[in-house]
Structure 1
């Protein structure tokens, strides 16, 4: 019976996981203390394909499901919260894994040839994780704990000022590449990949330098937040400087909007998010456009704002966006 893996992928999967699949879904559910229907849904929510009744699960899968079952039994989580947690973890880890494999796979195979000799991709993977797997695990855990500490600190700060711990007042920025679709049709796949990587890296560096937070990247766009309008303005200026004014890079446009937002599963939601994206459609090349709330938060002795003609903004009615310039 097939184990449900992609043809030709079994050796790679076993080399990476380090274990043979020995359990069916029903066996894992019974040993973990979960209804089989719940276990199958958790598995899908993590982002993995259904494996039917095949023996496609190993000891680590059993341990992970047992941990989740114990959290429910202890009353820390209920089933719906388990699904939210694993959905966030699955989405984040899938993106990270795709990026790492795409970035590192050729380097790993080259290093394996240099140090060990010719071999298959599964042998290179087995060698890498045998030699450095613990280091990768520790680095990932370190990064996660650091981000949890930062998230808890943000919630504590909001509680300290009697705010709702699920919402906060921020300036949201949306920066996108002008004419990305046309560029995609003109450039090779490799060049488009290089352009997107440079764009995301430069934006990330500027956002971090201005004490902002990069929420997500979308290939031709980035979404970020800052604690106040002036910091967001500096972030937008920096992105225009390092991307839009580099002759080797395409132009960018940026929208800033300020207001209350909700953080959920690492993403941010609320009217300012949607408005910032709408404002980019108004901005000229290598310029930023802001809403009135952002303009009100900018120091008049440093930043001049000027209203543009009123226009309809989908979902917001007729609005007057504002252009800006530093004095």
Structure 2
């Protein structure tokens, strides 16, 4: 099988469908107007295919399902598009992450003689690994959906407060990352970033926090408990910043009301946490007054001289550390 045939087989295996319809044709078969079909397609993150054949029967079924939900009053039209956009952006990131992760294994498999080319091995993986991961993906989505619903219910807030909540925001970034990245080749830089993100995510999750997003050399997380967020920050310094294969890190913490939208968080605490991390010394944790006020005897606190923080005026950061001899239960 030549390269072109392998590529077509790989696409067919992943889509599990034959492309046979244009935008107008898939809209007609799905029971919607061309503009609605185009709107959903754009929300999913794909460019307009024009008159190109780009859709199959699975796309028709998807459109019918969405349209049926709108007609039956299950979801409003605007809500449907917003959820579609969330799905598209999330899946695009997931797909890129999966492909970049699999490339390393494809290279090793080809080097070990398990396949003649990466494309050939990718086709084999699509046949054997994709179905298993698809089942896992659905399971993990349901688990996270249940966890998100439980967090919302636990707030016990009024309707207008459901997307605004008191949280402690943590912002951790690698020290001197720019100069370091200039001295590494692409593979070493990618490996460093992956180690940083992986280790940070494990520590944050273990303390009951949630990773909101990663930015290559930085990670943003939230926790409903300021003490837990502070323990996490100190763990990051102790277990990530002290590693020989990773640079030192700096962590800023701020507590207050944040807005949760579009899978992200917004508000003054987010900005303040980032500002604090940028002025922290290597392998240090700086917190704001609101976070410091909630911390008990477990932590040593020391106020630093005021310094200007963009958007916040002069602020006196507070450095925290674990009190010697103190053990949490």
Report the TM-score when normalising by structure 2: 0.89
Match of 1:91 in 2: 89
Structure 1 113/71 Cα, relative in aligned 2: closer, same or farther at 3 Å?
A: farther
Q: Distance in 1 between matches of 2:7 and 2:312?
A: 49
Give, in angstroms, the shift of residue 106 of structure 1.
4.2
Does 2:76 align with 1:78?
yes
Match of 1:262 in 2: 259
1:305 aligns with one of 266, 290, 301: 301
Does 2:217 align with 1:220?
yes
Q: Distance in 1 between matches of 2:298 and 2:118?
A: 60
Q: Distance in 2 between matches of 1:172 and 1:120?
A: 42
Q: What do you get for the CA RMSD once the two structures are aligned?
A: 2.4
Secondary structure in structure 1 of the residue aligned to 2:161:
coil
Secondary structure in structure 1 of the residue aligned to 2:279:
coil
Number of aligned positions between the proteins: 319
Segment drifting more, 156-165 vs 204-213: 156-165
Q: Extract structure 1 runs of 4+ deviating beyond 4 A.
A: 8-11, 108-117, 160-163
Q: Distance in 2 between matches of 1:179 and 1:11?
A: 45
Instruction: Note the residue ranges of structure 1 that are not aligned, 5 or more in a row.
Output: 1-7
Q: Distance in 1 between matches of 2:104 and 2:244?
A: 30
Does 2:316 align with 1:320?
yes
Residues 213-270 of structure 1 show CA distances to partners (whole Å, capped at 9, x for unaligned) of 1111111110111111110111001111122111221111010000111222221122
Segment drifting more, 69-78 vs 106-115: 106-115
Segment drifting more, 147-156 vs 38-47: 38-47
Q: Distance in 2 between matches of 1:48 and 1:181?
A: 33
Q: Distance in 2 between matches of 1:203 and 1:92?
A: 21
Match of 1:64 in 2: 62
Contact 2:13 2:127 in 1 (8 A): no
Segment drifting more, 103-112 vs 197-206: 103-112
Secondary structure in structure 2 of the residue aligned to 1:34:
coil
Residues 118-172 of structure 1 show CA distances to partners (whole Å, capped at 9, x for unaligned) of 3661x43343233333211110000000000101111111127999222221111
1:167 aligns with one of 164, 169, 176: 164
1:231 aligns with one of 222, 228, 233: 228
Instruction: Note the residue ranges of structure 2 that are not aligned, 5 or more in a row.
Output: 1-5, 324-329
Match of 1:45 in 2: 43
Report the TM-score when normalising by structure 1: 0.90
Structure 1 87/161 Cα, relative in aligned 2: closer, same or farther at 3 Å?
A: closer
Contact 2:115 2:121 in 1 (8 A): no
Q: Distance in 2 between matches of 1:112 and 1:58?
A: 32
Q: Distance in 2 between matches of 1:151 and 1:59?
A: 33
Q: How does 1:26-37 map to 2 (within 5 A)?
A: 26-37=24-35
Contact 1:15 1:125 in 2 (8 A): no
Match of 1:280 in 2: 277
Give, in angstroms, the shift of residue 34 of structure 1.
2.3
Q: How does 1:197-208 map to 2 (within 5 A)?
A: 197-208=194-205
Secondary structure in structure 2 of the residue aligned to 1:281:
helix
Structure 1 309/9 Cα, relative in aligned 2: closer, same or farther at 3 Å?
A: farther
